[in-house]
Amino acid sequence: MKKPDRILILAIITLGILLRFSDITLPELATDEVQAALGVSPAWTPLGMGILRFAQSIFGHEIIVIRGVSILFGLAMLPLVYSLSREYVDQETSLIITAVAAAFPSHIIFSRLAYLSIQLSFAWTLTLLCFLKARKTNDRKWIIALFFASFAATMIKTQGLLLPFLLIIGTIIEKRKGTVKDTAFWTLVFSLIPVSFYIITHPGIAATLLLYGGNMYGVSGPLSRLTALVSVWWNILGLFLVAIIITLPALRKFSWPLWVLIVIGSSIGYILGAGHEYYTTHLVLFSLPIGAALALWRPALRQICLVALLAMSIVIVGPHNLLKTSWRHHLYQEEGFWNRHAQEINEVLKDQEVVTVLGDAGHHIRWYLEPEVLVGKNLSAPYPTDFAVLLGISEAGKVSGTVEYVAGGVAVVRQGYLTN
Amino acid sequence: MKIKLLTSLLAASLLLSVPSIVRIPRFMPFIKADVRAAAPKAMDELRSMGLWLVNVDMKSIERKGDDICFTWIHQYRSRSEVYESEDITTCIAS
């Protein structure tokens, strides 16, 4: 690799690493981030949440701590992508691929947020790498690594079972009767046993699938799903989406296990809801065909393309006070409401042990409010607490009393009824 | 094929499944259709108390006369505190 290429790739990787540290505490915590941070969910397996709880037990219950876990997984993904690439292509191409992954906007964004998708993306990629190594070498250490990587993926989030399950199916299709003697096959099968028992004994998982199945989850309304998905991808990836489309033929260089992971990463947003932006984390695996294609281009063209991709990344996910355009990701336009106002609201509620929250109360409310929170939408007035927090102007008619605080559509009302 | 290694991995997978396997007895009553029908209603009762269902785990199910009674463990979690757990029982007429 010539010096200009090396310098450019090093610069992109360095900037990609630095971007993962930028604006960590700017967005307020989202409901899914808090659900993960608080360590309980009816629909998720426990490891991803447990990792966040462990970090908090050591470093404290702060936004920087829980999002710091994601930064670590996001950074660890880069050498992993390099290692995975080396299973297919030479060192130079692998470095180009790693540079693309480092600059990949959706992976940068979700390296800064506490969604479990960043942990899952890492675990899936590790599982894939171990699968390829185990099949190639039949080495004991890779077989053991495959088992634990696959188990970890299933335990980070329930949907983590998708990759091992589809690798099992793929092996059966590939090897047919020879599957029975395939060590990697049985390793993956055994790795799915714990999550199978977990699903059976945690009915919340099936209940969540039933609750959202047919509308949010599923394939109904295919055109609207596809439109929504493409719109999300365009807004979060920009030129990277163009690069994905142009370099799709380069997927031929790679084997079916990588295709499986890329298909999972691409379709999971379609099936489970494009509105869940965090599924775009998994699109970082497209850095492999993008990088493989770029490696074959003339150096000048490749360099222009890499600079353009890096520029796109900076525009979408660069430091929020650096360059404000309409491309800037919506979470990084301004500081989150609750980050700005939680302290003031808690000052009003400081003598309260319990409050009622009216409106669409996401789990983030339990993080930001210090008193215990009752879900008011399932209650009727008068509410069993002295204070009610209203999330949105539409809740105004549901409680009578004195408004003690109001900001940005959130109001704190001291109820006018007797509560004891 | 590495039989010994696979046997060890199978044992490991069963060991890792133990925390889930020990929960099976508490869910055995769900075999009955009336228990399955009563469970959502019992959860609606929890919602009507203003509770976050993520903070609730099922402890036991028993029949008391014509009622199916679900006992839940409720433990509220906030940013810096995990509250003491409490048992809550909701009974649904079968």
Between chains, do B24 and A183 touch, taking CB under 8 Å as contact?
no
Q: Which of B1, B20, B46, B73 to mutate to test the interface with A (most CBs of A within 10 A)?
A: B20
Q: Which residue of A has its CA nearest to B53?
A: A42
Q: To the nearest whole angstrom, how far is the Cα of B17 from the nearest Cα of chain A?
A: 4
Between chains, do A194 and B53 touch, taking CB under 8 Å as contact?
no
Between chains, do B20 and A200 touch, taking CB under 8 Å as contact?
yes
Q: With contacts defined as CB-CB under 8 Å, which chain B residues touch A379?
A: 48, 50
Q: Which residue of B has its CA nearest to A142?
A: B5
pTM (2 d.p.): 0.94
Q: To the nearest whole angstrom, how far is the Cα of A190 from the nearest Cα of chain B?
A: 6
Q: With contacts defined as CB-CB under 8 Å, which chain B residues touch A343?
A: none
Rounded to 5°, angle at Cα A183 from A177 and A186 = 80
Give me the tens of pLDDT residue by residue for chain A, a chain 420 residues long: 788 889 999 999 999 999 999 999 999 999 999 999 999 888 899 999 999 999 999 999 999 999 999 999 999 999 999 999 999 999 999 999 999 999 999 999 999 999 999 999 999 999 999 999 999 999 999 999 999 999 999 999 999 999 999 999 999 999 999 999 999 999 999 999 999 999 999 988 888 877 766 556 666 778 888 899 999 999 999 999 999 999 999 999 999 999 999 999 999 999 888 888 999 999 999 999 999 999 999 999 999 999 999 999 999 999 988 878 888 999 999 999 999 999 999 999 999 999 999 999 999 999 999 999 999 998 988 899 999 999 998 888 888 899 999 999 899 999 975 444
> Between residues 62 and 101 of chain A, which touch chain B (CB distance below 8 Å)?
none
Closest Cβ opposite residue A181 in set B1, B27, B54 = B1
